[in-house]
Structure 1
Amino acid sequence: MDIAGATALVTGANRGIGRGFTEELLERGARRVYATARRPELIDTSDPRVVPLHLDLLDEQSVHAAAEAAPDVTLLVNNAGITTGADLLTSGLDEIRQDLETHLFGTLRVIRAFAPVLAAHSGGAIVNVLSVLSWVATPEGSGFYSVAKAAEWNMTNGVRVELAGQRTLVQGVHLGAADTDMTAGREAPKISPADVARAGLDGVQAGAIEVLADAPSRYVKAALAGDPAALYGAAR
């Protein structure tokens, strides 16, 4: 799929990885980018190709309104998310559900709304921004975030199968920590949002269904084929 001339919609586009995707899409010649957020007034509209839209993953009405407002989308980038830091054993269940409602059901809600739009434009492509925590849990408060991202990962795989008939490319992008507000104050190697966007869009142009954007994601993916003690030795 060519990015030049494409019409994209990016969720969570007001900052971080979402903003990185928006900027990279514009750099590659996208015709229009619908940049969505719960607070669209925070979107940078200095480029006339950027169209801000309100979209809240937990509000089905806002999702369908966005799909109606953007009937020409050929590329959907699902980036919006949260991290509550909820622990599996000690946090309240309502807090835990918020992670799952956002990353699994919220992302799926957007895909369901835009699948017919993509079908009307020869299939197009969907990019889901996932995480190395789709495959491994860590002791640094990743608890239910890991569970939610694992669910989103396999949902991505399932949606890929169901949308194959309409020729929609469904891609998962995995990364470790990105240099965003979400990881501020965390001491760890961090990939830049721009590099995540470049890797994801390179993958779209190449027809790749999975992108490992950095060294941590490549290491953990490779380790899944071996003894899990390599990842959880300290937790045994």
Structure 2
Amino acid sequence: MSDPRDIPPDRQVGLIHGLGRGPGSMLLMANRLQAAGFTCFTLNYRSRHVVPGEAMADLDAQIARAAPAGCHLVGHSLGGVLSLRLKLADPARIHRVVQLGSPNLGSPMAAFLSDVKMVANLMGPALHRIAAADMGLSELPREVARDLGIIAGSAPVDRLSALWGIEEPSDGMVPLSSALGVDHADALITNTIHGMLPLSLEAARQVGAFLERGAFAKERA
């Protein structure tokens, strides 16, 4: 087994799952990036039991073990928010970041569900942070924004989105204005629904392109 210290940081990729999911939800994306020449590892945090600050401490410790010299990060939904916050905390060690459907400015769906006691109790304190758009993201420094790529969904699910109070294009859970609401180097809008973003072959191809050169592929497959 190769020593992680021998792998260049620009070939190491950590993948972070979203709220209520686990590392397995990122395995297909990891396998596709591995096939593209990256060395990947999935990260885990107790998404339903800890606030983002606690999750970051746990994730940071895992990254230090798996990629001590640094790595890229790819995160789905809340995992993308945490990826960006980890980049903000240590821009030298965390290289490029790609977010998949991340609620950077919160989500009306989270606000709707946070009023449903059973769901709120199940999903934990992070749901309330998303509902309040309290994601700890303000104007990004240039050295962080230039390394951020965003893949956001604009799926044909208007009737479903309306149930949550989303009155603009979205992936069914996260509005485009939230996903794209922070400074970034490049963005890609897809018609993929929220939960399918980590499973999309095209998303994986585009993630690989951004990690390689800091921009998405101009020609879509």
TM normalised by structure 2 equals: 0.48
| TM-score for both structures, normalised by structure 1 | 0.45
